[in-house]
Chain A
């Protein structure tokens, strides 16, 4: 393992210290906790809290700020934050209008956030939650925990955050978050595995000519391993599965996110986007807005995911609403 690390036990903490030192105008840290909150707490609105294991930067602290999240909880690398940490975030951001928890569909995240919600409700704080599950690589059936929440979660942060910023009620913010969840689909691919600092070695092995399709955001193995193909062929494979599941019609409008897994350069992400745009044009689906970059990373994994969000008038308005955070800006 070759990384910029002082102490594997202190990676998350030192990262949070570095974030606050770099961006004091955006975030401050709840003292004694791994919780980042808006530097300027906005009162009189529903607050949004998200979080998860560390290693997905800029998720989730990078999306704390105007028009997106009010608080983000950072767990250990790839490990859900604990209930006491989430509870602290809820208390810190609650402004009396209620708190929406945006949870990615992972067993640990759900348990820890649910326990935190129970603690908050016991203190009289109104809490609701939504669970994102945009990953089409995972079969959603009785026999799985259900689809994973991956990069599409960022669209939930953006759109539900905009709704909350506009003064909507907790029920309204939750409803629009669920609308995003119902319309967003993602699938990812890895070319090289990532290394959790505390583990010290890659989470799985891929030879020089292999790729892992359907990869999750925690380095967990995907659903299929194949010899590496051209960028266009890889996009064709991923888009086929996304489109099959989403089934957009000619004339539909979508937002596109080409998300880097952490160690893939923008050059390659743009090559992927080129093919995504071609495919959508071929089927008459209009690209309303495209985002290319690292939004939901997996430490140092080389890979990418493609996310499509089907839009209606409300989602388009909210997507373009002003947002100002470390990792996502809309003017």
Chain B
């Protein structure tokens, strides 16, 4: 379960993480991309934090959609459309909700990852955001199906996300700018998979704090 307060807290904690890891994400991107992922993500989430007070009284779907729209119009690059579409699709999946059941949370994640796949025309194993996101969502589903709490499921999800980040070090990028490097992309972790892993870390921390 997730309350609106927790959703808002998640957005704030994730925004803090993007600011905190700005240089790290940028350094990862300099190794295999164009070296701006941390700069762009922190700029976008700074705008999200500025926008949040104007929408925090609304339903969860409106909040998530506003976050998505803000990211699309402030992040730029590929990350803007991808993260923006993810939040907008997640919002559309939980229309009218003031509180999310575990199944709502799973549905929102499923719609978000579907949006990223549609926009990016990518599949798992191409050294992208999806390589941490899909294992993390699978972990949530498996843990909930096994009768665990959402908090425990998010602990598992974060671990799966970081495993996914590690996995990106072993594969060749076939999407995005890193694909131009071919085999030279091996050994480097994907910046997008990394920033996505921080989303699951943020979700876990918020759930632990709320003590559900």
A residues near B, CB below 8 A?
53, 75-85, 106-108, 111-112, 115, 137-139, 142-145, 148, 196, 198-199, 203-204, 216, 218-221, 223
Question: In whole angstroms, how far apart are the Cα atoms of A224 and B12 in the complex?
Answer: 42
Question: In whole angstroms, how far apart are the Cα atoms of A218 and B33 in the complex?
Answer: 9
Tell whether B78 is near chain A: CB-to-CB under 8 Å: yes
Tell whether B39 is near chain A: CB-to-CB under 8 Å: yes
A166 to B: closest C-beta gap in Å: 34
B112 to A: closest C-beta gap in Å: 16
Instruction: Say which size band chain B's interface belongs to.
Output: 20 to 34
* Complex contact A107–B35 (CB within 8 A): no
Contact A115:B36 (CB < 8 A) given known A107-B177, A108-B77, A144-B180: no
Tell whether B182 is near chain A: CB-to-CB under 8 Å: yes
B35 to A: closest C-beta gap in Å: 5
Q: Is the interface of A mostly helix, strand, loop or mixed?
A: loop
Q: Which residue of B lies closest to A198 (CB)?
A: B39
* List of B residues within 8 angstroms of A108 by Cβ: 76-81
* List of B residues within 8 angstroms of A77 by Cβ: 36
Question: In whole angstroms, how far apart are the Cα atoms of A253 and B181 in the complex?
Answer: 33
Contact A144:B76 (CB < 8 A) given known A139-B182, A199-B39: no
* Complex contact A138–B72 (CB within 8 A): no
Contact A216:B76 (CB < 8 A) given known A143-B172, A145-B175, A203-B30: no
Q: Which residue of A lies closest to B126 (CB)?
A: A143
Question: In whole angstroms, how far apart are the Cα atoms of A295 and B81 in the complex?
Answer: 28
* List of B residues within 8 angstroms of A199 by Cβ: 26, 30, 35-36, 39
* List of B residues within 8 angstroms of A112 by Cβ: 76, 80-81
* Complex contact B179–A79 (CB within 8 A): no
Tell whether B82 is near chain A: CB-to-CB under 8 Å: yes
- Told that A144-B180, A145-B176 touch, could you supply 20 new A-B pairs with CB distance under 8 A? A53-B76, A75-B76, A79-B40, A79-B76, A83-B72, A107-B176, A108-B79, A111-B78, A111-B81, A112-B80, A144-B174, A144-B179, A145-B174, A145-B180, A148-B180, A199-B26, A199-B39, A220-B177, A221-B181, A223-B180
